[in-house]
Copies of this chain bind each other. A is one copy, B any other.
Amino acid sequence: MNAACCACPLRHACSPGGLAGVDPPRSHLLMFGRRCLLAGEALYRKGDAFHLVHAVCSGTMKSSLTRADGRAQVCGFHLPGEFVGLDGPAEGHYQTTATALEATQTCSVAYGPLLELSSRLPLVQQDLNRLISREASRARRHILVLGRMTASERMAALLLDLSQRAAAGGHSRSDISLRMSRREIGSYLGLTTETVCRVLRDFRDTKLLEVDTRRVRFLDLPAFARAYPATVN
């Protein structure tokens, strides 16, 4: 582990989560560099040549697809400790655009050397395949949400998912801050911003949540999860 990695807030999360088998003396070969993004800044865009995968070190990102008519559809939110850019291997260029939702730090890893390394280290190879495959898992869960769920179920699914991932990152499970706008939530869930608002108001009115704009607190998380069982995988 080199100097930059020692300081990385991901130093614990990165290896077990992503690249368990990389022996320290070699890992510096992989790291391409860090970037600091401002809110709204893109890390990569759809169509960019794919050479790097990225870890979110701090902040939050979204990834979005572009429709033929040019409008965007948010297809994922990414918290610290998670990877973005793993949609690249499919075609050799990114198929999504990754944008920072707030000031965000990322760490980039060169894909070529990573592949090469993985062929020498079976554990890395398996982890890499797993990571790429998990990309599809996420998308499939998303399909389940968009398929035939009501607005409240969709919103509940997102909140429970964010809660769980925030917890995995060491944050509170019941007190989550939404770094994305209502419009972005709506795009992700296949709803309008108005409906997102109304659903959150209903959750508040029925004492399931406290909602203060972008701050959400579960009043009884287990009860909430029980009320929306179809959303848990």
Contact = CB atoms under 8 A, between A and B. Distances in A.
Nearest to A87: B136
Contact of A231 (B68, B87, B96, B232): B68
A137 B88 CA distance: 10
A229 B143 contact: no
Given A68-B231, A91-B137, A143 B144 contact: no
A68 B230 contact: yes
Contact residue range for chain A?
A: 35 or more
B128 A87 contact: no
Nearest to A92: B130
Contact of A143 (B89, B126, B143, B232): B143
Contact of A133 (B67, B135, B187, B232): B135
| Tally of this chain's copies | 2
Given A115-B129, A143-B143, A143-B146, A134 B73 contact: no
Contacts of A115: 122, 125-126, 129
A13 to B, nearest CB: 18
Contact of A65 (B73, B129, B138, B143): B143
Contacts of A182: none
A159 to B, nearest CB: 16
Contacts of A148: 73, 187, 190
B146 A232 contact: no
Interface in A97-148: 115-116, 118-120, 122, 125-126, 128-130, 132-140, 142-144, 146-148
A90 B190 contact: no
A58 interface: no
A69 interface: yes
Contacts of A120: 119
A217 to B, nearest CB: 24
A125 B126 CA distance: 11
Given A136-B136, A140-B75, A69 B146 contact: no
A135 B87 CA distance: 10
Interface string A57-79: 00000000101110001010000
A138 B91 CA distance: 12
In the complex, the 10 A-B pairs of residues with the closest C-beta atoms, listed nearest first: A139-B139, A90-B133, A146-B146, A136-B136, A89-B133, A135-B136, A119-B119, A68-B230, A90-B137, A90-B134
